[in-house]
Every structure is written in structure tokens, then in C-alpha cells.
Structure 1
Amino acid sequence: MARPRTAVRLTGLLTSVVLLLGGAVACGSSDSDSSGSAGSSDTSESTVSADAYPVTIQHKYGSTTIKSEPKRIVTVGLTDQDAVLALGKVPVATTQWLGDYKGAVGPWAQDKLGGSAAPALLTDSGTGPQVEKIAALKPDLILALYSALTKSQYESLSKFAPVVAQPKEFNDYGIPWQEQTEEIGKALGKPDEAKKLVTGVEDKFAAAKKANPAFAGATAVMATPYEGTFVYGSQDPRSRLLSGLGFSLPTDLDKLIGDQFGANISNERVDLLDQDVAVWIVPDLTTAVTKLHGNKVYGDLDVVKQGREVFVKETSDYGNAVSLSTVLSIPYVLDRLVPQLAAAVDGKPATKVEQPAS
């Protein structure tokens, strides 16, 4: 399974071929960034609890026991680095996915480096993690929670370090940001701190819902114009942004998608997008929108005629933050997404859904 976006276009989508391969497609540069830090740094003032280790974490391929506080952390999960940084650790290496960010550290997380060098950057050509390069980094913990790690990849990585794979309770690439943060908190010996981080972000969702009562009971869907129309299912982090704000997803959404994070739908089923709000992640804000509205089937829907669309440019920091949807990127997203959603559901077709200033 993959979590695409190629350098040209794929924001968080999977092609059918890569789905079969089970690898995570990363965009961007080639090999490890030699400017990465030599080892993980602890940039927080919090300390690991005395009884934190050993700790055993359950996952898709069984369980992993971490015997002591990790010092050299590698993140194979495509968004796991944000939770590590939020908990005061700087990974030895991260895996590139979205944006041309040094060490895969977005602007919402830069201050968490605390003066440390950015992590080394690993890439993935679609065949899985770079096992030899990861081994050369001598990690003492490998995190792969937001991933589609295969059993054979898990076994290969486990030969030289404890590996925390994706949970079995969710689809691949389906772990909610709350569980991701808390599981990483356990692994880093900071479970209480992780829970506080989660509570802090959940409070932001609650405040947004309270300030926008129109969100409750309204329906919404997240999509992107990849190979036609690709919609995100209920277990995708992008859809969870909407449900976390009080929106309801289309009732038959997951029935169409199955056990994946999203899927393409036929032109005959674009009626699925005729919700109170349709949020589009698009490659640009002019050509893509013109093309979407030029599709007669979609263009005739009320969601278009009544101005209830929200557009997010996929290659912007905002678009990258939406796709990552982590404990660090979500507050950045809410500051921008909530005003757009509020404009879309205000019941006034003339209201323009403005783009964020930055």
C-alpha cells in the first residue's frame, strides 16, 4: 500500500499497482540527507517516567517490547516524526513524503527542533523502507505507525531494532492522530505528556465546534481530482478533520471505498460529493477548479451552484498540513480550514470561500 504524492501530483493517493506492492511512495529527493543529525536529541524539559520501561506495544504483526529509553529514533511512518518532535525528541532520520522540507519537518514543527540539526531524510521508491540505510544509522527504535509496512518489511527491520508497526485495529495509513501520538508517547516513555498533547488539540476542535454550531449535523466530504475523482474514507486523517469538527460523512462512503483509506469513484457517483460541504485538495486553484466545474455531472450539483466548496492547494504548506493531520499540523490547519468551512455552510450562496492569507 502506498501513501502517494509524486513530485508531479499525487497528494495522499494510492495507485492500484502500488497498493499491491505494499510500499509507501515518497516524493522528492534521492538518498539520505547527509546534513541530518548524528543522533536523536531531547529538546524538552520533561523527563521520562521512572516506570516507563520496559513497555510493550501491540500492533498489526504482534507486539514489540522496548526495554529502555530510545536515543536513536528512525520514523518509517510518513507522519510519525511530528509526534516524536512534539514529545521533545529529534529523530535520527525521517521518511520523506510531502513537501520539500528539510528532514521532513514542516513549518508547524520547526520550533520543535530546538536548535538541533534536521533529521537525515530517507526516501522510498515504492518497494518499502531503505533497510540497509536504516541499519547503518544504528537506531534503537523504528516507528512505523502511519504506514503500510508489510510483514516481511517488519521482520527485516526488526533484525536490528525494535519496530512499532501500524495498529491492527485500523486500515493501513488509518491510525488516528490521537492514537498515533499516544502510542509514540508510550514508546518514548512519555505517556502522560502525550495525553496532554492530545487533549490540547482536542480542545481546539471543541472550541471550533462551539464557535460554529452550523457544523453539527452538516455533511461533508473530502476529495481530490486524481484520475477522475478520488474520495477519502472515514479512516483517512483528512476525513477525520471534518468529523472532528462535527460534520457527518456520507452514509455510503465506506461502502464504496472498502477497507482502504480512499478510492476513485465513477463519474456516475459524483453525486456523493453533493453534501453541505465538498472539500477539494487540488493541484492548483485555477485550472483544476475550472476543469472540475466543466464536468457537467459535477457542475450541476447544488454543492457547486450554491458555493459550498472549499479548495485547498495540495502543494502549499496548508495542503501538506491537511494531508499530514498530526498533533502538530492540525492546529495550523484549523486556523485556516475552519473559516473556509464556516463560509461554505453559512447558507448564503453569495458568500465567497476565501483562501487563507498564508
Structure 2
Amino acid sequence: MTHRTTLAALAAVTALALSACGGSSGGSSSEEAGGSAAADGAFPVTIPNAFGETTIDAEPERIVVIGYTEVDTLLALGVQPVAFQEFVTFPDAAVPGLGPWAEDLAGEAEMQVFPVSSPPGVEEVLALQPDLVVAVGSGIEQDEYDQLSAVVPVLARPEGSTAYLVDRDDATLAIGQALGKEDQAQELVDGVEDAFTEARDANPDFAGKTVVVTLPATDGSGGYSAYVSGDTRVSFFEDLGFELTPGIADIDAEGGFFVTISAEQVQLLDADLVVVLALDSVEETRATLEADPVFATVPAVQAGRVIYTDPLSGGGAISYNDVVSVPFALDQLVPQIQDALGS
């Protein structure tokens, strides 16, 4: 799969989503990305969630995103929020707060960015006078939901889901429903599945291989963090045909999205493929782990089956794992995986 192939596929799918209902007229902040109008009869709509249900009476025009990755999906649907939550800080971003995979989708209107270091409180969100708050990928709980939803509709995570671990397709389709763009959202979901299918078909040896996604622990313990099933980073590799290595899969994450592995447990990180998420810099993380005598004892590391991912590029894209970042991640990471596995 080539860079041109998957990004062209995303462009085609996004174009379909933007043109499905014709061009939009100016004036609404939510239309600055060039989006189409909602489908006829889409509103009012009631969407159940983990804390109750949300009724949206009319097409939203002032949307505030407090979930960590949903801004990409809104932009792909042609809707630009007035503000959104930053997930990764991109120092050289052409559009502040957006990854390189999404910046071309933004319109000219400036969006307020909530820094990753200081998520907004209820008062800050309401001060923006939104008519919809999108919180699918946030850590919102009942109290905050109740405070916000007393004033404005809140699209929260689905029933039965865990904070920060909402399935990509479920999140995309819920956002599409809230915006009156269900058909366009389904097209985006289908486009991503087609991209994964193409990648799996081109790399049949990925099927059934084990993977672990890890990074040096940041708690000063000298151990390692490893992501668990349901996390976006693991889901990306599972969609390519990999399976989470049993050493990690068998650990109870107690509702979290990662577990901490001590130096004494380092062999739990062994897999057919070890994926390292760099902390700040690929070079620094690689140097740290290559100088780590404990990490060096892992058989996969000894065999060279390790890839290091850039948090501002491929590593960031799998952390988002949304309908915009996936094609970018495939182009960035599939060649690295092939090299590591000797494919």
C-alpha cells in the first residue's frame, strides 16, 4: 500500500461526505470547513449514552469538542467546531492542535484549542455558548455530564463503553447521527475498513502475529507501560490482523487503557512485533531503550523485531486511530512493520 493510495482513498471518501448533500451557505461557525447541510428529517434526534440520553432538536451550529480525538471526525464530516480539546501537542502544526493528517480539512475560521495540560471545566465550556458538546472520547463522568446537559445537549460515550476506550466506528457513527450526517459517517467508516482490508490482503503474514505496544514508564519506576485491548493503539494493530501478546492480554487493567510492567516482568513484553511509542523524540526514546540492559533481554528486541514510532507522526496517528488518522498511520507504519518482520 502506498502513501498515495491510502491518502487518495481518504480524500475520495471525505469528498463524498462533503458533497453528499450539496454545498453549504456561509454564516455558521460549524460550516467553516466547507461541510454540507444535515440530511432532511435528521432532527430532532435522541441518542442514548452511558449517563442517560441526549436530544438534539436542530442541526448544531456552535459545537465544542471536549473528547480527545473527535475534532478529526467532525472535520472529515465538513463541520468545524468553535473549540476542541488538544490530545497531542504538535509544535509545528499548520493549524494549532491538529495532526498533520487533519490540517488540510480545517477551514479558515480560527478554532479555540483547550491545551492537553489543562482540559476545560464546565464553566469554560458553557462560556462558549455551544449548542452541542461532543464528549465521546473524553473522561466525562455523571456529575460533569449532568452539569453540562442541564444547559446544552452532550454527546457522551455509548452505554457499556469505558472512558477513553470507545470503538472508532461507534464514535464516528454517533457523531454522524448527532450532526445529521449518518450516511456520510458510514462512508467514512467503510473507507477506513477498506483501507485496512487492502493492508491485510497485501500483508497476509500479519495475521495471527502477536504485538505489544509499549513505552518507558513515566512514573520513575524504571519499568514499562503497555497498552491493553480496547486502547486505540492496540486496536490499530488488531485491525491489521495482529493479536495482543498473551502476556499483556491476560493482565486485568481494571478499566484503564494501559498496565505498568516492572523490570522483573519485562518478558511479558515479548511478541512477534514490539511497537515503541516515543515519548518526546524517537531518537531519545530509541537511545534510552537501546542502552537499557533489561529491555535488551526481550527475545523480540534481540531479534530486531522492534519499530519506534514518532508521536508527531505515525505514533500520534495510531493514538488518535480515527477515520482521518488511520490512512496516514497505515502509510507511515506498514513499511516499518514489513521491515521489522522481514516481510
Quickly name the TM-score band, shorter chain normalised: 0.7 to 0.9
**Shift in Å at residue 287 of structure 1?**
3.5
Following superposition, the deviation at residue 74 of structure 1 comes to 0.4
Q: Does 1:336 align with 2:332?
A: yes
Q: In the alignment, what sits opposite 1:161? A: 152
Q: Which residue number in structure 1 is paired with residue 20 of structure 2? A: none
Counterpart of 1:238 in structure 2 is 233
Partner amino acid, structure 2, of 1:71: E
CA distance in 2, matches of 1:237, 1:307: 24
Question: Equivalent residues in 2 for 1:342-357 (5 A)?
Answer: 342-346=338-342
| Residue deviations 1:98-148 (CA, integer Å, cap 9, x gap) | 1234452222112222x422311123656x532222212110000000011
Given that residues 123 and 130 in structure 1 are in contact (C-alpha distance below 8 angstroms), is that contact kept between their aligned partners in structure 2? no
Which residue of structure 2 aligns with residue 18 of structure 1?
none
Asked if structure 2 preserves the Cα contact closer than 8 Å seen for 1:44 and 1:87, the reply is no
Amino acid at match of 1:119: M
- Counterparts of residues 139-288 of structure 1 (less than 5 Å): 139-227=130-218, 228-256=223-251, 257-283=253-279, 284-288=281-285
CA distance in 1, matches of 2:51, 2:324: 28
Instruction: Write out the 4+ residue segments of structure 1 that deviate beyond 4 Å after TM superposition.
Output: none
Q: CA deviation at 1:47?
A: 3.3
Query: Which residue of the partner structure matches residue 104 of structure 1?
Result: 97
Contact 1:76–1:142 (8 Å) recurs in 2: yes
Structure 2: which amino acid aligns with 1:122?
Answer: F
What's the offset of the Cα at 1:312?
Answer: 0.8
Match of 1:223, SS state, is strand
Task: Give deviations 1:249-284, integer Å, cap 9, x for gaps.
Answer: 123424322321112111122212210000001133
Moved more, 84-93 or 52-61: 52-61
Q: CA deviation at 1:63?
A: 1.1
Contact residue 231 and residue 265 of structure 1 kept, 8 A: yes
Q: Secondary structure at the match of 2:246?
A: coil
Whole-angstrom CA distance in 2 between matches of 1:138 and 1:287: 43
TM-score, normalising length: structure 2 = 0.84
Counterpart amino acid of 1:136?
A
> Residue 34 of structure 1 aligns with which residue?
none
Q: Deviations over 1:209-266 (max 9, x none)?
A: 1111110011111111123200001111000110000001123424322321112111
Q: Which moved more, 1:280-289 or 1:241-250?
A: 280-289
Task: Identify unmatched segments of 5+ residues in structure 1.
Answer: 1-36, 348-358
Distance change in 2, residues 1:340/1:43 (3 Å): same
Shift of 1:59: 1.4
> Which amino acid letter does the alignment assign opposite residue 97 of structure 2?
A
Residue 323 (structure 1) aligns with: 319
Query: Alpha carbons of 1:337 and 1:160: their partners in 2 closer, same or farther (altered >3 Å)?
Result: same
Q: Does 1:69 align with 2:59?
A: yes
Give the counterpart of 1:289 among 276, 286, 289: 286
Find out whether 1:58 has 2:48 as its counterpart: yes
Q: Which amino acid aligns with 1:159?
A: A
Tell me how far 1:45 sits from its aligned partner: 5.5
**TM-score, structure 1 length as denominator?**
0.81
3-state SS, counterpart of residue 104 of structure 1: coil
Aligned amino acid, residue 87 of structure 1: L
CA distance in 2, matches of 1:319, 1:269: 24
Q: Secondary structure at the match of 2:244?
A: coil
Deviations 1:176-214 (A, max 9, x none): 211111110000001111010010011111101111111
Work out whether residues 94 and 103 of structure 1, in 8 Å CA contact, stay in contact via their aligned partners in 2: no
Q: Any unmatched runs of 5+ in structure 2?
A: 1-26
Q: Which amino acid aligns with 1:255?
A: D
Q: Give 3-state SS (helix, strand or coil) of 2:250's partner.
A: helix
C-alpha distance in structure 1 between counterparts of 2:135 and 2:274, whole Å: 31
> What number of residue pairs does the alignment pair up?
308
Following superposition, the deviation at residue 38 of structure 1 comes to 8.2
Kept in 1, the 8 Å contact 2:29–2:109? The answer is no
Structure 1 counterpart SS, 2:282? coil
Check 1:125–1:279 CA distance in 2 against 1; reply closer, same or farther (3 A cut): closer
Q: What's the RMSD between the two structures over aligned residues?
A: 2.0
1:310 is paired with a residue whose SS is: strand
The structure that is helix-richer by fraction is 2
Counterpart of 1:117 in structure 2 is 109
